[in-house]
Amino acid sequence: MGEFAQLCLGKTVIVEEKNEYCLDYSDLFPVNAVMDIPYYYADDVVVYKKGYKAKLGVVSQRLSIMGYTLTEAKEKIKRYVNEWNKIGYSDPVITSVFLKFLVNTKLDKQDSLSFPIENKELMEMYYSIDPRYILQILAQNTDNLNKDVTWGLEDVVEGGYVSYKTIIGSRAKNKILIATEGRTDKDILCQTLLQLFTNISDLFYFFNYSEDESINVNGCKDLYKFCKYISQMNHSYVIALFDNDVDGNVETVKSFV
């Protein structure tokens, strides 16, 4: 038998994973998202246990920052559909129709998003899509934005199949590096993110300024050199913030040439 971990939107199961085969979805949620959430069982039994919870609007914003944009979601799902059509299990699937189905499904009436999919093989295609892309598509229905996205892992943890330590953080977050002209700018921006943008602050990190000024980024010319250096590396997104002054504008223009 075993136990299940569920990623849900409202009461609707987006994906369900069993026993030790659970994946890490903690990157969907802000750092303050751990709380008691509802776990739904047979016969309308509801039990509150430890889990993760955030509004879909927040999750959608985090997904976009991590690279799971609406454009990327549509493109990825198009690829899944094209591969599916090549296999030829059933009648060809039209990407726009499948996306419209996802956006327009009445979630409050579904226990699982896969239930409205009557074709068994097509259901398998749905489960092969990263649920992060599914959630981003669902966020295009404004009625869904205030619904809770929850991830409940407690049953598989209590069953001894996994531990929070082995699951949480096993998937690296796609963080964005922010580099500024100096330490003061970094300190101000860091505190601003922590105080005003708590839902996304953990998705950014700053250039680690050393106490040794000789190896620091110090001023617009050093920042420009840093941009040229890091652009040659296989690095995730970087935001370089130049001062809005004469020198800063000159170096900014050079960065795009």
What is the secondary structure of 16-32 as a DSSP string?
EEEGGGPPP-GGGS-TT
- Are 195 and 127 members of one domain? no
Q: Which of 106, 136, 167 is the last residue of a domain?
A: 167
pLDDT of residue 173 exceeding 80: no
**pLDDT tens sequence across 179-225:** 888 788 888 999 999 999 999 999 998 887 655 455 566 677 787 77
Q: Which of 167, 195, 214 is the last residue of a domain?
A: 167
- Are 250 and 183 members of one domain? yes
Q: Quick one: pLDDT at residue 121?
A: 61
Mean pLDDT of 230-237: 71
- Are 162 and 222 members of one domain? no
- Are 81 and 189 members of one domain? no
Find the Cα–Cα–Cα–Cα dihedral 18, 21, 27, 31, rounded to 10°.
Answer: 70
pLDDT of residue 65 exceeding 80: yes
Q: Quick one: pLDDT at residue 106?
A: 77
Please, which pLDDT band fits residue 143 given cuts at 50, 70 and 90? very high
Mean pLDDT of 131-153: 95
> How many structural domains are present in the chain?
2
| Side-chain half-sphere CA neighbours of 168 within 13 A | 16
pTM: 0.83
- Are 189 and 154 members of one domain? no
Q: 102: part of which helix (H) or strand (E)? A: helix 95-104
pLDDT of residue 59 exceeding 90: yes
- Are 198 and 149 members of one domain? no
pLDDT of residue 90 exceeding 50: yes
- Are 26 and 140 members of one domain? yes
Q: What are the φ/ψ torsions at residue 224 (nearest 5 degrees)?
A: -60, -45
- Are 56 and 138 members of one domain? yes
Inter-residue contact 53 to 29 (CB < 8 Å): yes
Q: Quick one: pLDDT at residue 212?
A: 47
Lowest mean pLDDT among 122-126, 136-140, 158-162, 232-236: 232-236
- Are 242 and 125 members of one domain? no
- Are 94 and 154 members of one domain? yes
Residue 201: Cβ-neighbour burial (10 angstroms; 0-12, 13-18, 19+): middle
- Are 190 and 162 members of one domain? no
Using alpha carbons only, how large is the chain's radius of gyration in Å? 22
Q: Quick one: pLDDT at residue 247?
A: 61
Please, which pLDDT band fits residue 114 given cuts at 50, 70 and 90? low
Please, which pLDDT band fits residue 237 given cuts at 50, 70 and 90? confident
Q: Which of 119, 147, 167 is the last residue of a domain?
A: 167
Inter-residue contact 45 to 98 (CB < 8 Å): no
Question: Percent of the chain beyond pLDDT 70?
Answer: 81
Mean pLDDT, rounded, of the chain: 83
Q: Which residues contact 101 (CB under 8 A, 6 or more apart)?
A: 116
**pLDDT tens sequence across 30-51:** 988 999 999 988 888 899 999 9
44 vs 51: CA distance, rounded Å = 19
Range of the domain at 219: 176-255
Q: Quick one: pLDDT at residue 234?
A: 66
